[in-house]
Amino acid sequence: MAFWDADLTTRMGADTATSRAGLACFILAGFRILGALFFGGLIGLETLEGQIVAATTGIEALVALIAGFRFRAGKGAFWGIAAAVLLGISILNSLIGFAIGGVVIGAVFLVVIVQGIRGAFALRAGGFDEDELEAFE
């Protein structure tokens, strides 16, 4: 099963999608923390601009970290949406700055997070086929 094609008809498929999204959010949070340290330090953390850059990327990392923990718990659709929106803004920023690597990596993470959001909504709705089979065994 490819990462862009999650099987949400089974509980295991939805669990796998949310677990992958949790891992993607953890990696994304790590990238954001490194970005906050690198670009905040590049501008200078003692300047206002450096503090703003470090704070905004720190907020992105915090949202991604919370979304990652929620996804690993099999929930997290709304935190995942927040992380996906922030990642979409970051992809748009990379696109404007002609950073093709940032666009490609961000797009892969965005696809995995969107699949996790779909998986979390599927887990919330329930009604999987194997749930009905367990009642008759």
Q: Rounded to two decimals, what is the model's pTM?
A: 0.85
Per-residue pLDDT band for 107 (boundaries 50, 70, 90) equals very high
Listed residue (37, 39, 40, 123) closest to 80, CA to CA: 123
Report yes or no: 113 and 25 within 8 Å, Cβ to Cβ.
yes
> What ranges do the domains of the chain cover?
11-126
Please state, in angstroms and rounded to a whole number, the distance separating the CA atoms of residues 1 and 6: 7
Share of the chain above pLDDT 70, in %: 88
Q: What's CA 110's distance to the chain center, in Å?
A: 6
Span 86-101, pLDDT tens digits = 999 999 999 999 889 8
